[in-house]
Amino acid sequence: MKNIRNFCIIAHIDHGKSTLADRLLDYTGAVTEREKQEQLLDSMDLERERGITIKSHAIQMDYVHEGEEYTLNLIDTPGHVDFSYEVSRSIAACEGALLVVDAAQSIQAQTISNLYLALENDLEIIPVLNKVDLPSANPEEVTDDIVDLLGCDPSEVIPASAKTGLGIKEILDAIIHRVPAPSGKVDAPLRALIFDSVYNPFRGVETYFRVINGSIKKGEKIKFVATNKTYDADEVGTLRLKQFPRKEIKTGDVGYLITGIKDAREVKVGDTITSAVNPTTEAVAGFEDVKPMVFAGIYPVDTEDYEELRASMEKLQLNDASLVFTPESSAALGFGFRCGFLGMLHLEIIQERLEREFDMTVITTVPNVSYHAYTNKNPDDVILVNNPSDLPEPSSLNRVEEPFIKATIITKADYVGNVMSLCIEKRGEITNQTYLTTERVELSFDMPLAEIVFDFYDRLKTVSRGYASFDYSPIGLRQSKLVKVDVLLNGNTVDALSALLHVDNAYDIGKKMCEKLKELIPRQQFDIPIQAAIGAKIIARETVKALRKDVTAKCYGGDISRKRKLLEKQKKGKKRMRQVGNVEIPQEAFMAVLKLND
């Protein structure tokens, strides 16, 4: 056990985590020349194209240091804020972390939030200054930033370049000297932490775990603590590029487990594995069910594809257990699903994977968050509002609470004014402002989650010219004055366009919605009124003018009453047409409501 080292790599998006992992694998000989490729651990096409890590990956390396053989377990983590629960479980499975900082971009918001996660778990932090070979790199200044942040010695910061392979040996030596060996009781009952799971269509769910106490043997009966279910360990082994089956995985090591489970919902990340015969009394702390933050409806373009969409979503859920969905129907769009996501990036990725992996073209409705409503009748009973149509009648409503987040934004001093005005416009309250250096400022805000769901991130990048990094964590629910704004087309409510908005913004957004829809809805033979309403009160209106057919063309000469008679007849026809007329809403209209500020 003293020769095992478990470590993870934490960094902001694009600071070179995956490339550094590639170099470590090359250097330790874990990958043969033939298997080499860029971003080796990012196995999904989407990960490669976007250059981001979506799933965490684990891999084992052997390294000989001063004549002794060491086993290094690297757990690569996603860098994006939407996947922070997965990062927290990976960190809980390690004793050390490489904190990678880009020498050109310096410390960003995500770096700091992941660093705090690592410090909470008492991890040994090894600072690595990556990309020192870039012409725009600023090694001395960024080293000072790291020293200020960690309070370490400047000599402890390892300059490296994952692209050229500079500093890789120093990093491996630092892991062996500075990361402590795992501590655990070999003879205690089995206690292992699940930090990830993947779905294999042939063998069921593969569970990745780290043994904290005891050992796990092939063929023994095991139990998952959170779900309280018992299974047989059909196969256990270690994770190289390919899986290596073993008879036993001992204390402190990382491995995979196959039990033939077909339903991914039975394996929860963060759960504890123990022996069914001799169970442990204490589970690994910190387990929680992943809570979706953003909700949106996903509908098939053609209603006949509904069952096919259901099958696709179920398969996708096996690979990504944080996707939650329930069936629902909409008058405008037919049958579909109400889905819960971890954030907007997660929503985008799910939509993209449905299109790529399953050939499903889908319509996504306006994303919103989950609110808590209370009625006057029973003020203590919570009504979960995931969809604007779930909100009780305004007359019976007591109060509504909405989720708030603590947002951390790091930007250059020149853009502080712009960023502040954007956050205040989004109902944010500033709680803290710290100058990290003379040039860089860290701003903290308390903001409603609903306000950042739409276009906040894009606008933040615009007002700061790309020099702002953003990170958030939930801080609970607060009471807010919210109203339901409905959109009526030709007097009929379109449920897919309803939104829950704050009273102060309702009139403004209602007006913008009507203006936007006026541009997008095709003209008919009759006038179409587009209205925004709160309850029975209309707050904004636009009209799509009718296409006029020239019925009087044949009346040349003669009495004016002939023309008038024809126009009266046409008027009656238009009136009747408007009563029975059906207005088609183009797909762009649903998406355009998201981009009201463009």
* pLDDT block averages, 10 residues each, the chain of length 598: 80 75 75 53 51 64 80 75 69 83 77 77 84 80 80 80 81 84 80 79 81 84 83 83 80 83 74 81 70 79 83 76 78 79 78 82 78 80 76 78 84 83 85 80 85 74 74 80 82 76 80 82 77 82 77 72 79 67 64 59
Find, among 319, 391, 331, 402, the residue nearest to 365 by Cα: 331
> CA-CA-CA-CA torsion for 129, 132, 138, 140, nearest 10 degrees?
60
What pLDDT score does 42 carry? 47
CATH topology of domain 294-365: Alpha-Beta Plaits (3.30.70)
What pLDDT score does 454 carry? 67
Q: Is 131 annotated as a binding residue?
A: yes
- pTM score of the predicted model: 0.68
Residue located via tokens 């056990």 = 1
pLDDT tens digits along 478-516: 888 888 888 888 777 777 777 777 787 788 888 888 888
Q: Is 14 annotated as a binding residue?
A: yes
Whether CATH 1.10.1330.10 fits 191-275: no
Residue 333 contacts residue 296 (beta carbons within 8 Å): no
Find, among 346, 296, 356, 298, the residue nearest to 322 by Cα: 346
Same CATH topology for 191-275 and 294-365: the answer is no
Distance of CA 462 to the CA centre of its chain: 21
CB atoms within 10 A of CB 290: 17
Whether CATH 3.30.70.2570 fits 485-496+507-594: yes
Residue located via tokens 């010695």 = 153
Find, among 423, 480, 467, 468, the residue nearest to 446 by Cα: 423
CATH topology of domain 391-480: Alpha-Beta Plaits (3.30.70)
Q: Is 56 annotated as a binding residue?
A: no
Angle between helical axes of 344-358 and 306-319 (0-180°, round to 10): 120
Q: Is 15 annotated as a binding residue?
A: yes
* In the chain, domain spans: 4-178, 191-275, 294-365, 391-480, 485-496+507-594
Q: Which CATH class is domain 4-178?
A: alpha beta
Q: Is 65 annotated as a binding residue?
A: no
Q: Is 130 annotated as a binding residue?
A: yes
DSSP 387-430: SGGGSPPGGGEEEEEEEEEEEEEEEEGGGHHHHHHHHHHTT-EE
Q: Compute the distance between CA of residue 114 and CA of residue 112 in angstroms, rounded to an integer.
A: 6
What pLDDT score does 348 carry? 79
Q: Cβ contacts of residue 579 below 8 Å, gap of 6+?
A: none
Q: What are 110's two structure tokens?
A: 């995500």
For residue 488, which phi and psi values (nearest 5 degrees)?
Answer: -110, 130
What pLDDT score does 591 carry? 61
- The CA-based angle 42-45-46, given to 5 degrees, is 90
Percent of the chain that is helix, strand, coil (3-state, to 5) = 30, 35, 35
Distance of CA 148 to the CA centre of its chain: 30
Q: Are strands 499-502 and 468-480 parallel, antiparallel or unpaired?
A: unpaired
Q: Are strands 68-76 and 4-11 parallel, antiparallel or unpaired?
A: parallel
Longest dimension (CA), the chain: 112
Q: Is 196 annotated as a binding residue?
A: no
For residue 482, which phi and psi values (nearest 5 degrees)?
Answer: -115, 145
Q: Compute the distance between CA of residue 257 and CA of residue 324 in angstroms, rounded to an integer.
A: 25
| Four-residue CA torsion sign, 147, 152, 153, 154 | negative
Find, among 273, 281, 277, 231, the residue nearest to 255 by Cα: 273
> CA-CA-CA-CA torsion for 409, 414, 418, 424, nearest 10 degrees?
50
What pLDDT score does 55 carry? 56
39: left (phi over 0), alpha (psi -120 to 50) or beta: left
